[in-house]
Amino acid sequence: MRRADAVRLLAAAGTVAGVRTAAFAQGLVPIRVGNVGVSDAGAESLYAQATGVFKKYGLAAEVTGVSGGGAVIAAIVGGSLDIGFANVVSLAQAREHDIPVVALVDGAIYPGSHPDTLLVKARGSALRTGADLAGKTVGVATLNGSLQTCASAWIDKNGGDARTVHFVEAAFGEMAAALKAGRLDAAMISEPALSRDLVDVDVLGDPFFAVGPRWTIGVWVTSKAWAAAHPDVARQFVRAMIETAHWANAHHAETAQLLAGPSHIDIATFAQMTRSTYGDALTAAMLQPQIDAAFKYGGLKQPFDAHAIVADAQPYWAGIR
């Protein structure tokens, strides 16, 4: 698809952050989809709508921006969304509390290289290893969230003890200044702030790799009741996400054009930032690393076998592969 055509389709769909599509096309099945704000990681639903993939599979998507994975799951359980994007830990936490949600298909994945989040320090800082962070202050976007879990894994695997580190909550856009001023010793910074701030910070390491060489960051989820009542629609959504993942992974210029307006990120920043990679499957091997790390660092109270998530999804993969 040409860039101009993709932009035109997005405008025609009426998709902006937090604004719902105006009307459903006749003959299409309406679904309410929640993506995480206008982040690159959760943007597949925007791409599927803008490029006509949802329509191809008989779906008229009403796409709404939501603040995070926990809020997405709450909206699904509350009935205001049908399907949404959530990180794997939020899904496992919901299952731990017997909240009836089911994963359908991978969203963003960590492919083993080119992470879109890194642990950084102030330019010129003497910090080198996990041991150097003992007693230090490390900024994360959400306390006890997935990025803190990743940072903890990196610290422990690089000679340190994450229990000795003081984690504090900070906005990505404010982390570089806090590092420079000495209010933070290190920080987990994600794109697009990461690319913007690389002139002012040095990289300590890739905490995603400390969790595992390749794993699923987020998944598209729904309630068990909705999926059971709409199995054919769920399967069509899975097909739409698989096709969109393949397209988006190969068309960064076009996806940058689609996301630039709603996200308020300029095209020049997209050109230099590390873009999200999207998965096209749902396997226990990809889900388990983040779940195990969450249990180790207190995000989950009990061990959790990802095979249970995959087993619940099998009816919605019937005939796809």
Cα gap 2→22, rounded to integer Å = 25
Structure token pair of residue 200: 């002012």
pLDDT band at 25 (very low <50, low <70, confident <90, very high): very low
| pLDDT of 141 above 60 | yes
| pLDDT of 2 above 70 | no
Give pLDDT, residue 37.
65
Note whether 105 and 242 are same-domain residues. yes
Cα gap 42→116, rounded to integer Å = 13
321 belongs to a structural domain: no
191 belongs to a structural domain: yes
Query: Which range, of 8-22, 66-80, 179-193, 284-298, averages the lowest pLDDT?
Result: 8-22
| pLDDT of 21 above 50 | no
Helix, strand or coil, per DSSP, at residue 202? strand
CB neighbour list of residue 278: distance below 8 Å, 6 or more residues apart: 44, 106, 107, 108, 109, 241, 244, 245, 248, 249
Note whether 52 and 94 are same-domain residues. yes
Q: Side-chain half-sphere of 91: how many Cα atoms within 13 Å?
A: 33
pLDDT band at 172 (very low <50, low <70, confident <90, very high): very high
Note whether 202 and 220 are same-domain residues. no
Give me the percent of the chain exceeding a pLDDT of 70: 91
Question: Pick from 36, 171, 31: which is nearest to 90 by CA?
Answer: 36
Peptide bond into 231 cis (omega under 30): no
CATH number of the CATH domain containing 224: 3.40.190.10
Structure token pair of residue 73: 């799951």
Note whether 12 and 99 are same-domain residues. yes
| pLDDT of 29 above 90 | yes
Note whether 199 and 229 are same-domain residues. no
244 belongs to a structural domain: yes
Q: Domain range for residue 200? A: 117-211
Note whether 105 and 20 are same-domain residues. yes
Using the 3D structure, point to which of 195, 211, 227 is the last residue of a domain.
Answer: 211
| pLDDT of 9 above 60 | no
Q: Contact, 32 vs 2, CB < 8 A?
A: no
Note whether 274 and 261 are same-domain residues. yes
Mean predicted confidence (pLDDT) in 281-306: 96
Note whether 200 and 143 are same-domain residues. yes
Rg (CA), the chain: 19
Per the structure, the count of domains in the chain is 2
Q: What is the pLDDT of residues 31-55, one digit of tens each?
A: 999 987 667 888 999 999 999 999 9
| pLDDT of 4 above 70 | no
| pLDDT of 17 above 80 | no
Q: Output the DSSP codes for 86-151.
A: EEHHHHHHHHHTT--EEEEEE-EEE-SSS-SEEEEEETT----SSGGGTT-EEEESSTTSHHHHHH
Q: Contact, 227 vs 234, CB < 8 A?
A: yes
pLDDT band at 77 (very low <50, low <70, confident <90, very high): very high
| pLDDT of 16 above 50 | no
Note whether 143 and 259 are same-domain residues. no
